[in-house]
Structure 1
Amino acid sequence: MRLVPLGKTGIQVSAVGFGGIPIIRLDFEEAAQVLRHAADKGITLFDTANRYADSEEKMGRTFAGMRDKVVIATKTGQRAAKAAMEELELSLTRLKTDYIDLYQPHQVSQPAELDALLAPGGAMEALVRARAQGKVRSIGITSHSLEMARKLVATGLFATIQFPCNIVETEAAAHLFPEARAAGMGILCMKPFAGGMLDDGGLALRFLRREPDLIVLPGCDTAAQVDQAVEIFSGEAAWSEEDAAKAQGYRDELGSRFCRRCEYCQPCPQGVRITYAMMYRVVAKRMSPAKAVQFASETMETVRNCIDCGECATRCPYNLPIPEMLAEHLAMYDSHKAAQ
């Protein structure tokens, strides 16, 4: 496995890491098998978060006794010092470790969030103290806003920046990544499959493999997915004309107005299954309208409960007009249903 430096931290990590969300679908033994397989195949960086259900606990159980063989990154969504320290201590307990290699304030995308993070009594104050105590080796940060990510890089406070990049979200390559490189930061690439909207994993990973210093974090829940990622990132950066054409097809299909399935919009007070309803357009195209109606009916019927309160839109890191899009998808579903 090819190794790359994690910015200026002095830590070397595998060029492809392991995203910790999908293992929440597995039981503890299944998760342990996939995690151990990844480590055996040469993956050294494992990324999770306090809010990823039991992901931290599964990593903690799996890596007990081999802590020195893996690099663990986790995250906090808290902006105040006391709450961030509480989450850090909880992560240490769940991960069964006395230190975290890379600790990241998560989803800092609004100016007010950065102000709170850096203010006296803010989370950064606690994390710097935790780093001095040896509980944290390095401090990184994540964002879904390109404008804010560039500001975070410019602060010079963080060892790494984690940001979405994939076939249909390429904006970071023009400015963010060069600025992070110039600052000596490690670049962690989340959402390599665009939140699951790219159903050709090999194509998605080959696209990112072309950047020699990206640390790509695909989410895996099977050994086969791990093997595919390891094979691609252990080899040469192959990219064919056929690959380019297929990638353009995804861009044409998805555009920029699509759900990445991050689920920050949920839960809906009215019980709307927002994430899956937001996928209806793509599901209908890939399955056929008739099959999509049958497959998605239970989900799409919940959209009728939407009262257009807009609460979901305020939580969306991509600023999607969620109620408007849900209404569009419901109208499409109804037209498909009527045509049967």
Structure 2
Amino acid sequence: MKYRALGKTGLIISEVGFGCIPIIRLPADEAVRVLQHAYGQGITFYDTANAYRDSEAKIGMAFQGIRDKVILATKTMKRDAAGAREHLETSLRMLKTDYIDLFQLHQVAQEKDWQSITASGGALEAAIKAKEEGKVRHIGITSHNLSMAIKLMKTGIFETIMFPFNFIEDAAKEEMISLAQESKMAFIAMKPFAGGAIDNAALAFKFLRQYPEAIVIPGFDSVSSVDEVLSFYEKNNTFSEQDNAAIEQVRQKLGKQFCRRCEYCQPCPQGVAITPAMGYPIVAARMSPAVSVEFSKGPMESVPKCVECGVCINRCPYELPIPEILKRNYALYEQHKQA
């Protein structure tokens, strides 16, 4: 395992991190086993969120007694100071720690989110106060919207930016990665498998390893999945024309069905939570039906409000047939509710 600086934070982390959504579906003892195996293989950077059910609690159990050996990152989607502070205190309790190495304001994709976060009494205020108190060491931000992410990077407020990066969602390679390097800001690449849409791990990492500046945080749910990804880093990376052709085939297949979560379609005039509802099949593929239903209940119950007005289609830069996909996803959700 190689180690590197996390941007200008001064923290040193493993070149491969661990995205902790998948451990939601594991029994606690198995999750602890996978986490401890990853640590034994040299992984020291673990990313989770308050919203990821019992993920934080499982991490807390796994790393009791070695807290100073790991770098823990968590997130909040709250936009107000009180809500963000509540999430932080919950995270500290669940993770069994008195400080968070990296506290991130999550999924800031629209201007209204940014205005709420930076207003008096906003979430940024809570994060800064927590840093002054020593409960947070560094502050980062995440987004799925390219233009907003670049704006956030240019504020100079944050030390890390987390953004989707894989061979389907590769927009970050044009400006974000170089901007991060110029500003000494860590670029954390989430969703290396496009949230589960890419099933060829070797191909996914052949692409990603062309960009060593990116700190990749794949999700793991087994010892074997940890070992598989780490094995890619033991080999020389040669990216071929055949690899390009294979990637193009996957892109073509997913092009008109895959939601990039950019949120350009929002807000829906009828109140449909389009972005999370579009991603329901990916959530369902990573969790049991019962957990998927509970995890996605809010957005999925908004889908029947869709009147197929077409506003979202006109806004979507990828021209996705959003109402059609939502209907299909809702049918799957209903099926899971009956399971």
Report the Cα offset of residue 274 of structure 1: 6.0
Report the Cα offset of residue 15 of structure 1: 1.3
Q: Which residue of 2 aligns with 1:62?
A: 62
User: Which runs of structure 2 are paired with 1:285-300 in the superposition (5 Å)?
Assistant: none
Query: Which SS does the other structure have where 1:140 is aligned?
Result: strand
Report the Cα offset of residue 244 of structure 1: 1.9
Query: Which SS does the other structure have where 2:233 is aligned?
Result: helix
Query: Which SS does the other structure have where 1:229 is aligned?
Result: helix
Unaligned stretches of 5+ residues in structure 1:
284-301, 332-340
Q: Which amino acid aligns with 1:66?
A: I
Q: Which residue of 2 aligns with 1:81?
A: 81
Unaligned stretches of 5+ residues in structure 2:
286-299, 332-339
Report the Cα offset of residue 327 of structure 1: 4.9
Q: Which amino acid aligns with 2:203?
A: L
Distance in 2, matches of 1:259 and 1:125, equals 32
Report the Cα offset of residue 88 of structure 1: 0.3
Query: Which SS does the other structure have where 1:141 is aligned?
Result: strand
Q: Which residue of 2 aligns with 1:167?
A: 167
Per-residue Cα deviation, 1:60-118 (whole angstroms, up to 9, x for no partner): 11111111111100000011111111110000000000011100000000011111111
Residue 156 to residue 317, structure 1, CA distance change in 2 (3 Å): farther
Q: Which residue of 2 aligns with 1:106?
A: 106
Query: Which SS does the other structure have where 1:74 is aligned?
Result: strand
Once structures 1 and 2 are overlaid, which stretch shifts more, 57-66 or 232-241? 232-241
Report the Cα offset of residue 181 of structure 1: 1.3
Report the Cα offset of residue 328 of structure 1: 7.5
Contact 2:195 2:282 in 1 (8 A): no
User: Which runs of structure 2 are paired with 1:243-262 in the superposition (5 Å)?
Assistant: 243-255=243-255, 257-259=257-259
TM-score, normalization by structure 2: 0.81
Q: Which residue of 2 aligns with 1:192?
A: 192
Distance in 2, matches of 1:277 and 1:216, equals 23
User: Which runs of structure 2 are paired with 1:44-55 in the superposition (5 Å)?
Assistant: 44-55=44-55
Once structures 1 and 2 are overlaid, which stretch shifts more, 123-132 or 100-109? 123-132
Report the Cα offset of residue 259 of structure 1: 3.7
Report the Cα offset of residue 204 of structure 1: 0.6
Q: Which amino acid aligns with 2:124?
A: M
Q: Which amino acid aligns with 1:225?
A: S
Q: Which residue of 2 aligns with 1:16?
A: 16
Distance in 2, matches of 1:184 and 1:256, equals 36
Q: Which residue of 1 aligns with 2:306?
A: 308
Q: Which residue of 2 aligns with 1:25?
A: 25
Q: State, as a whole percentage, how many aligned pairs show the same letter.
A: 47
Residue 275 to residue 113, structure 1, CA distance change in 2 (3 Å): closer
Structure exhibiting the larger radius of gyration computed from Cα positions? 1
Residue 309 to residue 61, structure 1, CA distance change in 2 (3 Å): farther
Number of aligned pairs?
304
Q: Which amino acid aligns with 2:227?
A: D
1:147 maps onto 2:147 in alignment = yes
